[in-house]
Amino acid sequence: MSWFRKDRRPEVWEIADEQPLGDIGAAHKIREICVSAATIAEAMAAAGGRNAEQKRAADGERYQAGIKRAIEIATQISDDSMRDVSLSQIIRLSVTMGHLKTARVLLRVVRSDKTRAELVAESPILLDQEAAS
């Protein structure tokens, strides 16, 4: 019966762009991806009951795909300050999910000392391992 079949809508990062994104378009796309990935992260935290482990694994794969696409888009941004803001959104999401390795690597790419200091002030755990590296 097709009534009960749940067709999943494509995620923001799965939709192909018809035109190349400019810096502003790329920043908007990254923001949309981070919002969508945060929703997935909340669902992963709340998953319970039957098939919870399978759901978490599937959501984890979707989350990883979103973060990967956001990073790919961020590398295409030519404006340093816009790229730093976009990377900071990805870093915050990575810290929230506990993916500190990704967050620390991206923190090294941020060029603005002010942005880097703000991120470390928000999440001092980023600095702990960074000093050891």
Mean pLDDT by 10 residues, the chain (133 residues): 61 66 89 90 72 77 89 92 94 90 94 94 81 46
**75/89 Cα distance (integer angstroms):** 14
Which pLDDT does position 104 carry in this prediction? 94
**Burial group, residue 48, by CB count within 10 angstroms (0-12, 13-18, 19+):** exposed
Q: How many residues does the chain have?
A: 133
pTM: predicted TM-score of the whole model, two decimal places: 0.80
**74/85 Cα distance (integer angstroms):** 10
**129/24 Cα distance (integer angstroms):** 32
